[in-house]
Amino acid sequence: MAKVATTKREEKLVQLITDWKSLENDTIALAEDLQKKSDNPFVKVIMEIIKHDSEKHKIMQQFVIDTLTKEAIHLSPQELIPLADILDRHIQAEAKSMSLANACAIESRNYFVDFIVSALTDDEIKHHNMLRTLDHIKSAVYPYGVVRPE
């Protein structure tokens, strides 16, 4: 486990992310308050989405803090090779999800449905891009686990 050397800039970044992470608690509480005060299903679902996204943000922010203060990120293509089949299937599933979301967007004429489908589409695109990044790292290795020359 490699200890990360911390510079003043990294210390400032950690403080900024820590403050941001703390703010997510306020966002969660406000979303919960709005959920309680509204009987409207659209408002309730939007607040639920925001609440869950804020909870996810806190996990991601903590990961960044840990990366800057405890252990540097490390991921080798060799670590991804055993996951290649599942990764490929996951990329295909996300691509199908994006296609279905696009079809829904074309068919819908309802503002509220369009709003939710658009948010879902954004998430599917983000997921697909994250998986493609993992696939790109994996592709730095030949199929038999031999690292390609740079």
Q: Give the pLDDT of the chain (150 residues) as one tens digit per residue.
A: 555 657 899 999 999 999 999 999 999 999 999 999 999 999 999 999 999 999 999 999 999 999 999 988 888 888 888 898 999 999 999 999 999 999 999 999 999 999 999 999 999 999 999 999 998 888 876 555 555 555
For residues 125 and 115, what is the distance between their CA atoms, to the nearest angstrom?
16
Domain ranges of the chain: 1-74, 75-150
- Which residue in the block uniquely carries the two structure tokens 């992470």? 21
Residue 140, SS3 per DSSP? coil
pLDDT tens per residue across span 3-35: 565 789 999 999 999 999 999 999 999 999 999
pTM: 0.80
For residues 28 and 51, what is the distance between their CA atoms, to the nearest angstrom?
5
User: φ and ψ at 2, to 5 degrees?
Assistant: -85, 125
| Residue 2 contacts residue 70 (beta carbons within 8 Å) | no
37: left (phi over 0), alpha (psi -120 to 50) or beta: alpha
| Residue 103 contacts residue 80 (beta carbons within 8 Å) | no
Q: Which two tokens stand for residue 86?
A: 């599942």
Q: Is the dihedral of CA 126, 132, 133, 134 positive or negative?
A: positive
